Structure 1
Amino acid sequence: MILEDFIVIDKIGLFCRYGNFYLDPKEPVKQAVISHAHGDHAIGGNLNVYCTEATSLFMKHRYRKFAGGEFHIYNFNAVFDVNGVKVTFIPAGHILGSAMVLMEYDGVKYLYTGDYKLQPDKTCEPISFVEADVLITETTFADPATQHPAAEEEILKLNSTKSNIMLGAYALGKCQRLISLMNDHCTEKRILVHHSMMPFVKIYEQMGVNMKKYEMYDRKVMKNNPEHMVYIVPPMVFKSYFKAINVVRVFATGWKHLQSSHEIQLYISDHADWNDIIFTIEKVKPSQVWTNHGNGNYLKTHYEKSLVVKLLS
């Protein structure tokens, strides 16, 4: 029997009361199961952290000695126990090391997706599907009007200009995916990377990902080469350089409201869109869907006659 209170939400986040642990807590806790290393899912200071190896490396770089007390590292598909709940990490395809969290208790399976994507990405493990009784899915882009274009087609937009490009992107996941895409599809471009992003790129390589050609940003290189340079910078730098001259400003994101002022609109998202979420539900075959991190009302309406949809947030 599905336990309606197996996962509850409080000010700290998603709490599994039967296993006495949090999923991606917003504040430090004693027991934290972390889906992936983005800052809105993985904070420092937890006493016990359960995660994949890549996630641990990213967290230890970002938070240093405050990353966590003890890290319990598990490979994908390995079953482990947290206070009586069987837990398994399933590849989520979001960034390197990202995991969906399969929890089994009293014969019922609950699958927490964290963030996930279905599009191909050479820089991380592809998503894998398992069946579960309850799917707890993120709904960042759960709107029938939202359909992400293929990243391999979007990246070709950068070839439409010879001018140097300042490319805004998140330092973890998006940066590495863009480097890979440009190496494959924008071969005339020379890729420069902001210094703050380089440690994450190096961890990708440490974990066996072939990042191919890129180099640390050098002001002289950018100044002396007026064409075909792409300088990847994190969001804060992108915003602070809003008066930068002699560059085409581009920001890689699935959010339309962040694209309007840019000469080239680069719709590359690392989240599931509407069709991806529907496909995931078909593959997981749950009897209930619990929504989180976004608007689940469209899903509730879509499945009102065929599937129980509960809005957790």
Structure 2
Amino acid sequence: MILDDFIVATKTGLFCRYGDFYLDPKEIVKHAVISHAHGDHAIGGHLSVYCTEATALFMKHRYKKFAGEAFYIKPYHSWFELNGVKISFLPAGHILGSAQVLMEYMGVKYLYTGDYKLQPDKTCEPIEFVKADVLITETTFADPGTAHPVAEQEILKLNITQSNIMLGAYALGKCQRLISLMNDHCIEKRILLHHSMLPFVKIYEQMGIDLGRHEPYDRKVMKNNQSNMVYLVPPMVFNSYFRAVNVVRAFATGWKHLQNQNGIQLYISDHADWNDILLTVEKVQPLQIWTNHGSGVQLKKHFEGNLVVKLLN
């Protein structure tokens, strides 16, 4: 029997009282099961952190000695137990080390996706599907009007201009995917990285991911070369240099409002779009869908009369 209160949304995050742990908590807790290392899912300071190896490395870099008191590294597909709840990680395809959390209690399986994507990405483990009674899915782009274009086609937009490009991207996940895409599809571009991105890139390479050509940003190099340079910067830097001259601005994201006033609109997302979410439901074959991280209203409307859809937030 599905327990309606197996996972409940609190101000601290998604709480499983049966196992006494939180999924991606927003505040410091005793037991934190972390799906991936993005800042809106992984904060520092927890007493016990359960995650994949890559997620632990990213968190330890970002939070240093405040990353957490104890890390329990779990490989994909291995089971561990917290207070009677069995837990296993499955690849989520979002970034390197990202995991779906499969939980089993009293014979019922609950699958928490965390953030996930179905598009191919050589820089992280591809998503794996598993059947579960309850699918707890992110709904960041759960809108029938949202369809992410193919990233390998979208990156070709950078070849339209020979002017230097300032390319905004998240330092973890998106940056590394873009480096790989540009090496495959924008071979004339020289890729320069903001210094804050370099440690994350190093961890990717440490984990055996070959991203291809890239180099640290050098102001003189950028100044002395007026064509085919791509300077990858994190969002804060991109936003602070909104008046940058002699560069074409682009920001890699699935959000339309972040494409405004950019010279190149680059729709590359690391989340599932509407059709991907529907395909995930088809693969998982849940009896119920619980939604999180975004609005599940459209999903509830779509499955009305066929599946129970509960909005957790």
TM-score by length of 2: 1.00
1:131 — aligned with what?
131
Q: Report SS of the residue matched to 1:71.
A: strand
Give identity over the alignment, percent: 77
| 4+ aligned runs moved over 2 Å, structure 1 | none
Residues 111-132 of structure 1 show CA distances to partners (whole Å, capped at 9, x for unaligned) of 0000000000000000000000
1:11-65 Cα offsets, whole Å, 9 max, x none, are 1010001000000000000000000000000000000000000000000000000
Alignment correspondent of 2:101: 101
Q: Is the partner of 2:116 in helix, strand or coil?
A: coil
Taking the TM superposition and a 5 Å limit, the aligned residue runs for 1:196-275 are: 196-275=196-275
In the alignment, what sits opposite 2:292? 292
1:305 is displaced (CA, Å) by: 1.5
SS in 2 for 1:232: strand
Q: Does 1:61 align with 2:61?
A: yes
Q: Deviations over 1:128-186 (max 9, x none)?
A: 00000000000000000000000000000000000000000000000000000000000
Aligned length: 313
Corresponding letter in the other structure for 1:106: M
Give how far 1:211 is off. Answer: 1.2
| Counterpart for residue 182 of structure 1 | 182
Per-residue Cα deviation, 1:183-203 (whole angstroms, up to 9, x for no partner): 000000000000000000000
Q: Any idea what the Cα deviations from partners look like across 1:196-242, whole Å, max 9, x if unmatched?
A: 00000000000000011000000000000000000000000001111
Aligned residue runs from structure 1 range 35-50, under 5 A: 35-50=35-50
- Amino acid of the residue matched to residue 177 of structure 2? R
Paired AA for residue 304 in structure 1? E
Q: C-alpha distance in 1, partners of 2:301/2:239?
A: 38
Q: Secondary structure at the match of 1:146?
A: coil
CA distance in 2, matches of 1:212, 1:303: 43
3-state SS, counterpart of residue 18 of structure 1: coil
C-alpha separation between the residues in 1 aligned to 2:62 and 2:206? 16
Q: Helix, strand or coil: the match of 2:158?
A: helix
Give the 3-state SS of the residue equivalent to 2:245 in structure 1: coil
AA paired with 1:207? M
1:83, distance to aligned residue in structure 2 (A): 1.2
Q: In structure 2, how many angstroms separate the alpha carbons of the residues matched to 1:178 and 1:218?
A: 19
Q: Secondary structure at the match of 2:90?
A: strand
Instruction: Note the C-alpha offset of 1:82.
Output: 1.1
Tell me whether 1:87 sits opposite 2:92 in the alignment: no
Are 1:32 and 2:23 an aligned pair?
no
* Distance across 1 between alignment mates of 2:258 and 2:39: 20
Q: What SS is found at the alignment partner of 1:58?
A: helix
SS in 1 for 2:204: helix
User: What is the distance in 1 between the residues matched to 2:175 and 2:190?
Assistant: 14
Question: How far 1:263 moved relative to its partner?
Answer: 1.2
Letter in 2 for 1:73: I
